[in-house]
Amino acid sequence: MQQTHFDEKYPVYELTLQKSETTATSASEIISRLKANVDSHPIAAFIGLFDHFAHTKNLPEGEIAENIIAAQHIIFCFGVKLPSARVMAVRPRSIGVTEFADHFVVNFMEPPMPVATNAMESWVRALRDR
């Protein structure tokens, strides 16, 4: 898993996963596995799924790189405290899954909470199961 900064300001964790490295066969299957992790976590709450590919494809001005097959998000929250209104700016969390012909890219923005970071990182790393 690689840690980078998107646009020089957003801390992102990203894993490029060759299809030969996982038993998952599609972005939807990876999303289902991640949902199972969220559902079984003691403090995570599932919020929803978002098909970014379908949304963008249906926009008149939508543009998608021609090598992207699918792009989906799972959205959830780890919020155990609500100390101020400001924390709302960094919630909820999401993990994005982009599918290409021979690989997946799975990424998320680093949460400000180590428990969430550790859980999300372990969920993503576990996708490499071959």
What are the tens digits of pLDDT across the range 118-129? Answer: 999 999 999 999
- Cβ–Cβ under 8 Å, residues 124 and 12: no
Closest Cα partner for 71 from 87, 90, 86, 57?
A: 57
Closest Cα partner for 3 from 91, 121, 84?
A: 121
Position 112 scores a pLDDT of 87
Mean pLDDT of the chain: 96
| Single-letter amino acid code for the residue at 76 | F
d(CA 108, CA 30): 14
- Cβ–Cβ under 8 Å, residues 66 and 96: no
